[in-house]
Copies of this chain bind each other. A is one copy, B any other.
Amino acid sequence: MQALHFGGDYNPEQWPEQVWADDVELMRTAHVNLVTVGVFSWSRLQPGPDEFDFGWLDRVLDLLDDAGIGACLATPTASPPPWFTRLHPDAMPVTRDGIRLTHGSRDTYCVNAPAYRAASTRIADALGARYAGHRALRMWHVHNEYGTPCYCDHCATGFQVWLAGRYGDTDALNDAWSTDFWSQRYREWDEVLPPRVTQYLSNPAQVLDYRRFVSDSMLRHYIDQRETLRAASRAPITTNFVLGGWVPVDHARWAREVDVVAIDNYPSSVDDHLTERAFAADLARGWARAAGHPDGRWLLMEHAPGAVHSGGVVRALAAGQAREAALTYLDRGAVGVMYFQWRASRGGAEQWHPAIVPHEGAAAPIFQEISLLGAELAGRSPTAVSAQVALIFDELTMWAWQAPHVPSRDIDYEKMAYRWHGVLGGAGSAVDVVPVTASLSGYRLVVAPALYLMSQAVHTALRGYVLEGGTLVLTFASGLVDDCARVTPGALDDLIGARIVRHTPLLSDETVALAGTDAVGRRWFDQLEVTDARVTLQTADGAAAVIEHRFGAGLVRYLATDLDERQLLDTLADVRKGSAE
């Protein structure tokens, strides 16, 4: 039987050495079997440019190993020490406004700065060399929560090279970016810049490509370290994904480069935290499955014990909710549940962050609750989850919806995904939340709400899925632009069996009355000229609101407006039961 990982981030360097033995004893009490060590240890491991100090970490790992506790050993590159930033000010990130940040927090680096790339590989190499053979080593944890964007000159140069690789010549770039709008035509690569602050609206294709470039730049930084570690060690290597619309990481692509998909999850709501966790879990599994990880297994690398911690604010959850949270992840395929963090920090910027051992010590209720949970989970192994239904959640589309100029400001792509997740998974059914690049052939039903951006490959893949018998639900506000954010009128017409004559975003207080129900449509209405489809729901005025189109061996249902949850359940009743097949 494979045991679950159970534990969390452990930062022994914050405490005198005599506390370490207590920690290990308490870990055993709590049935902890894995701790993440070293995430923020760079300034301790490499106190100066040419000075290393591994003695303390040796002792920590030995102590852990003696107690049978494994280590998820981090490379500390997310927090360069002050000496580094003083030597290499050009490696500090620069904002869109041209303001260079400095140290004093964490995450102060530019992944395109040569000095930072070299320093990162060097410390990773030193850790690999020293600890590849340590008995406590279970896993490598590269960096932490990749997410610092930068707009510096290193990035500008890197972006030009990346674009040259993507487009070949500037003519192709000009076409892809539609630069004839507003006289932005580029002649030479070095005229192209990151989307720095400018006078008015930015070019959406430039912004989108820049996010792709930043993701790729970070991925290269990750791979540099992974290869360095791989050369020394056979332990699995990963990094912890942080979720959120601001993160410039294409997680679906990254999932193929990690040995296990690992996410951190920090819900924002006390009331709906389990819903948020369920979505994140199904999404992590979806990324893992799409990237070919067996059974879609994934690891919850961080969450806050017994509390919600969001936006710098901590709110306690009721007793018992920590267990509910853990089970929510485990029932959805997590191979372990880990916390940030083991012992609360006395000082520093997150001193009030929840911890398994809080400031009040091991007598505090949370330690008891986590310990009981540890005991309960000790006998459990990972759950294999099999889903027949997939919800497509596409980060490129999420980014595209963030453009300064979109057809409607009332479409919140992430909230819409949450709502659909609730509808599809409502009765406890398993739902994979998958990227648009996933193989869909195994699913009976695939739902893709508001899939604004669709590349040609996505068009082909969705058609292929339906042609072979799949049932696909699409909605308004889908397929509007291609992967360069260029409008693609009529791109769905053949697939849905209707011509979309006019897109009408609705004002927030406008609704569309539906025939035979008191439910209404909101947010958007597509005026359809039905060609080959069948109308399954009409507006009170007799316009098509939902249509169904047999396409090859499969079926496409298209929703021309945003239905409320009850109406969605009605509308999908048959396809959810598989009756449409």
Contacts and interface: CB of A to CB of B under 8 A. Distances in A.
A201 B361 contact: no
Interface string A1-14: 00000000001011
A348 B181 contact: yes
A347 B196 contact: no
Contacts of A202: 104-105, 349
Interface in A194-209: 195-206
A179 B43 contact: yes
Contacts of A199: 93, 101, 105-108, 148
Interface string A83-121: 100100000010001111111111110000000000000
A423 interface: no
A315 B206 CA distance: 25
A285 to B, nearest CB: 29
Nearest to A190: B86
B204 A314 contact: no
A178 B348 contact: yes
Interface stretch (A73-81, A249-257, A259-267, A383-391): A73-81
Contact of A204 (B11, B102, B349, B502): B349
Contact of A315 (B188, B315, B489, B507): B507
B192 A361 contact: no
A307 to B, nearest CB: 10
Contacts of A186: 82
Interface residues of A, number: 101
Contact of A40 (B106, B183, B200, B404): B183
Given A198-B108, A201-B350, A487-B347, A185 B504 contact: no
Interface in A6-51: 11, 13-14, 40-44, 47-48
B345 A99 contact: no
A187 B48 contact: yes
A59 interface: no
A196 B490 CA distance: 50
6 contacts: A40-B181, A179-B348, A184-B348, A344-B487, A359-B489, A360-B500
The 3 closest A-B pairs by CB, nearest first: A178-B347, A181-B348, A79-B183
